[in-house]
Amino acid sequence: DAGITQSPRYKITETGRQVTLMCHQTWSHSYMFWYRQDLGHGLRLIYYSAAADITDKGEVPDGYVVSRSKTENFPLTLESATRSQTSVYFCASGALGNEQFFGPGTRLTVL
Amino acid sequence: GENVEQHPSTLSVQEGDSAVIKCTYSDSASNYFPWYKQELGKRPQLIIDIRSNVGEKKDQRIAVTLNKTAKHFSLHITETQPEDSAVYFCAAKAGGGADGLTFGKGTHLIIQP
């Protein structure tokens, strides 16, 4: 579990501000994912990446931007935060075997 | 896209009894079905998974069954213990490693002493 980390763990921001959530993994996994978790909705996929410089949209991508310049990092940016983006954000990584392993999460509050 | 339904949303069982959580999926192309356990304030932890070429898989007190024809899969926990109390999520995925998981909405399992 120590192989995937997220920062910050807690963040409070205001509507309209840009926020970047960081994700770092040391397993050299090719695949990385961002999910958000909300009560009543479970976990929903925001974006995913198959390799450096390859990203694709998931179920709920609007308002988010990702990049993957290095295999080990997969930052998620909220370009102009809205209250509806208040959530717990989980990063995950995986290898070819389909298993996905989650980071500890970032709890984001948008005021 | 894929849709995963999970039941029940809350399950209360006596310690030592068995618990069963059921999920259905909609996309016949889905071929990987993991189960995650999430304790309060923690990350989801993969506890068991099954692929579409297998009908059942066991790991100590935990088992998962898959019925591809009916598009449903289930988690079975036997001899439940207090530490089994958590929220359990099923998920489904089609294709290779690049695709994300589609999750059910979770089952809150409560083990009564």
Q: What is the pLDDT of residues B31-84, one digit of tens each?
A: 999 999 999 999 999 999 999 888 999 999 999 999 999 999 999 999 999 999
Q: Is the dihedral of CA B18, B23, B24, B27 positive or negative?
A: negative
Q: Nearest residue on chain A to B44, judged by CA atoms?
A: A102
pLDDT for the residue A95: 85
For an interface test with A, the pick among B36, B49, B99 (most A C-beta atoms closer than 10 Å) comes out as B99
Interface size A-B, in CB pairs within 8 Å, comes to 63
In this predicted structure, which of A4-8, A9-13, B22-26, B49-53 has the lowest mean pLDDT?
Answer: B49-53
Q: Please give the backbone phi and psi of residue A52, each rounded to the nearest 5 degrees, phi first.
A: -55, 135
Q: Is the pLDDT of residue B14 over 70?
A: yes
**How confident is the model over A52-97, as pLDDT tens digits?**
899 999 999 999 999 999 999 999 999 999 999 999 999 999 987 6
| The pLDDT value given to residue B111 | 97
How do residues A19-65 score in pLDDT, each as one tens digit? 999 999 999 899 999 999 998 888 999 999 999 899 999 999 999 99
CA-atom Rg of chain A in angstroms: 13
Q: What is the end-to-end Cα distance of chain B in Å, rounded?
A: 41
| Interchain CB distance below 8 Å, A42 and B100 | no
R_g over Cα of chain B: 14
Touching check for B105 and chain A: CB below 8 Å? yes
Contacts of A96 in chain B (CB under 8 A): 96-97
In angstroms, the CA B6 to CA A69 distance is 37
Higher pLDDT, B55 or B97: B55
Query: Which residue of chain B comes nearest to A49, CA vs CA?
Result: B98
Burial bucket for residue A75 (CB in 10 Å: 0-12, 13-18, 19+)? middle
A66 contacts on B by Cβ (under 8 Å): none
